[in-house]
Amino acid sequence: MDPVARNFIRMSVIYFAIAALIGVHFMFSKINQHQLFQAHVHLMMLGWMAMMIYGVGYHILPRFNGNPVAFPKLAIIHFWVANIALVGFVSTWGLSRYGCTKVPERVFAVMNAVGIIMFVTNILFSIRKPKED
């Protein structure tokens, strides 16, 4: 398996475990923790689900057409952008409720969108028609 795909899958299951622990915490907590709830949701959706889709997508989708990943270096950059965006977004979510600016949240949200565009671009070029020999 390609190292980028493997790393996305590894991070996916790590985020899944963290989100599950946060979910268990909610079962025993009597306090409404909105920021922690948002972290739980985003770790599940962008961490567990999206990272798994990226990893499996990079591994399987190009092979359907017999192609390699079109831009391997872009996939590596995507890995780092996606993880920095998720951790940054989760750790800064809701700070504006405490008088802080929303700039960090927005920066990490845009970074996440950029990562998605990197993935879409790489996959669309990777599933192109195979070259004729």
Q: 79 with 115: CB under 8 angstroms?
A: no
**Which residues touch 83 (CB under 8 Å, ≥6 apart)?**
11, 51
Residue 131 lies in a domain: no
Residue 110 lies in a domain: yes
Residue 28 lies in a domain: yes
Q: What pLDDT band is residue 4 in, cutting at 50, 70 and 90?
A: very high
Q: The dihedral of CA 130, 131, 132, 133: what is its sign? A: negative
Residue 132 lies in a domain: no
> Token pair for residue 113?
């969108």
Residue 103 lies in a domain: yes
Domain carrying residue 20: 3-126
pLDDT tens profile 15-71 = 999 999 998 888 887 776 777 888 889 999 999 999 999 999 999 999 888 899 999
Alpha-helical segments (H) within 2-71 = 3-28, 34-42, 51-64
Residue 65 lies in a domain: yes
Position with higher pLDDT, 81 vs 90: 81
Count of domains for the chain: 1
- How far is Cα 129 from Cα 111, in angstroms, rounded to an integer? 30
Model confidence, pTM: 0.89
Residue 37 lies in a domain: yes
Residue 133 lies in a domain: no
